Amino acid sequence: MTEAVSGLAERFTALLGPGGVVTDPVRLATYECDGLTNHRARPALVVLPDDGAQIAEIVRACVAAGVPYVARGSGTGLSGGALPRTDGVLIVTSRLRRVLEVDVPNQRAVVEPGVINLDVSRAVRADGYYFAPDPSSQQICSVGGNVAENSGGAHCLKYGFTAHHVLSCEVVTPEGEVVELRADDPGYDLLGVFVGAEGTLGIATKVTVKLTRLPETVQTLLAAFDSIERGGTAVSAIIGAGVVPAAIEMMDALSIEAAEASVACGYPPGAGAVLIVELDGPAAEVEHQFAQIRALCEEAGAFEIRVAADDAARALIWRGRKSAFAAVGRISPAYLVQDGVIPRTALPRVLARIDALSAESGVRVANVFHAGDGNLHPLVLFDDAEPGAAERAEQVSGAILDLCIEHGGSITGEHGVGVDKARYMPRMFTATDLDTMQMVRCGFDPAGLCNPGKIYPTPRLCGEAPGVRKGVHPLVEQGKADLF
């Protein structure tokens, strides 16, 4: 522990009490990583504040001492966004779990950042409302983490992402000021850029979220195809017909096999791909569109279509999809979860290329994806006991991102850049693009202490005037050499 940090430890103990400060190495180890376990760093100090005012004090003390700090919600992030600094403070929001206000007439709720995503919906369900962003991790991830990652879920096809469901945030800025960023206020939409900034522009201490009316009806269908191509054709046909379902999810044969082995979801045997389509909304509307979708799936060659008759049947259909990540653990000792995006019309082409990559390298890839918006989650399987296997898997996983970029897509649709994908940013953006984005960061965090080292491979020196670059960082240079 450096002198600066031990000074902070004393201050924070006075502020939070001994129970609010973690210095014991064994306990510190539990905070070494988020959901992406291959990046690890033991924080110098962990603090567990009770409210926003304490967070502001902690940040101000860190800034005064020149010590970097990182916010952490539930630690389920999949890009190392909450990866601590060994020389810094990790500020954990797990004690900020109060739903402060539910305002049904105004369709909003005010919550603390550590509140679990699903608990927002639980608090308002009886009133006929819910919080629409539904990441698969919603039973454990925090609203603060959702804000930072601009998280989405299967249903964001129709309902949008966290950015569309946050009305305002009380924020402790990287310099320790407390400011309310509201979507409605005149001036720059700083809330708009704060959401999705992966905790690099300050710490949210209160979040006002929009509540969405529960739909009158929900209908869910499972369609089985003999190939991914046929499934892809069905997706294009549905979108082409002007229908926007709540969700369109697809799984390939390998991920079906894994899900079957794990949760016995009973999907139609012999399916090369299954499509899960969910419609929700006014009853007449859903009924009409459901018939349309059914017909389109049949036309595209679905050999079996199942319709969920009730909530239990719906849960069964979703069980296979929702268990897919964990289930892959049953058929492979280890795997990487990739997150990339392509224009949905490129789906068949890109999937064929992923197949080819897999065949060439001998690395198995299971495909699970949010087909409606082209968000791929290829699971790259490997045996961590086999020398070189992890590296080969890593290569295939990276090559999949290159495919996404080549087809006009993105290196991440929902898991964020974090530390994991910073090195891929120069493949998607030019040095000037990245420099321009970081102007925002320099405006918020001139000292560069708030979650440093995330998103951008090369930090911008905030003192520099725009446009006067003195040489390019070697990493960027390499990135560019890769790209062009």
Residues in contact with ligand FAD by the rule CB under 6 A: 34-35, 70-78, 81-82, 93, 113, 135-137, 141-142, 144-146, 148-149, 151-153, 198-199, 203-204, 325, 414-415, 451
Q: Which does 262 bind (CB under 5 to 8 A by kind): ligand FAD, another protein, none?
A: none
Q: Which does 409 bind (CB under 5 to 8 A by kind): another protein, ligand FAD, none?
A: another protein
Q: Which does 199 bind (CB under 5 to 8 A by kind): ligand FAD, another protein, none?
A: ligand FAD
Q: Which does 420 bind (CB under 5 to 8 A by kind): ligand FAD, another protein, none?
A: none
Q: What is the 3-state secondary structure (H, E, C) of the chain?
A: CCHHHHHHHHHHHHHHCHHHEECCHHHHHCCCCCCCCCCCCCCCEEECCCCHHHHHHHHHHHHHHCCCEEEECCCCCCCCCCCCCCCCEEEECCCCCCEEEEECCCCEEEECCCCEHHHHHHHHHHHCEECCCCCCCCCCCEHHHHHHHCCCCCCHHHHCCHHHHEEEEEEECCCCCEEEEECCCCCCCHHHHHCCCCCCCCEEEEEEEECEECCCEEEEEEEEECCHHHHHHHHHHHHHCCCCCCEEEEEEHHHHHHHHHHHCCCCCCCCCEEEEEEEEECHHHHHHHHHHHHHHHHHCCCCEEEECCCHHHHHHHHHHHHHHHHHHHHHCCEEEECCEECCHHHHHHHHHHHHHHHHHHCCCEEEEEEHHHCEEEEEEEECCCCCCHHHHHHHHHHHHHHHHHHCCCECCCCCCCCCCCHHHHHHHCCHHHHHHHHHHHHHHCCCCCECCCCCCCCCCCCCCCCCCCCCCCHHHHHHHHHHC
Q: Which is nearer to another protein, 13 or 236 (CB)?
A: 236
Min dist CB 86 to ligand FAD, Å, is 16
Min dist CB 64 to another protein, Å, is 19
Q: Which is nearer to ligand FAD, 81 or 245 (CB)?
A: 81
Q: Which does 35 bind (CB under 5 to 8 A by kind): another protein, ligand FAD, none?
A: ligand FAD
Q: Which is nearer to ligand FAD, 152 or 457 (CB)?
A: 152
Min dist CB 125 to another protein, Å, is 14
Min dist CB 467 to another protein, Å, is 4
Q: Which is nearer to another protein, 30 or 432 (CB)?
A: 432
Min dist CB 55 to another protein, Å, is 17
Q: Which does 107 bind (CB under 5 to 8 A by kind): another protein, ligand FAD, none?
A: another protein
Min dist CB 161 to another protein, Å, is 7
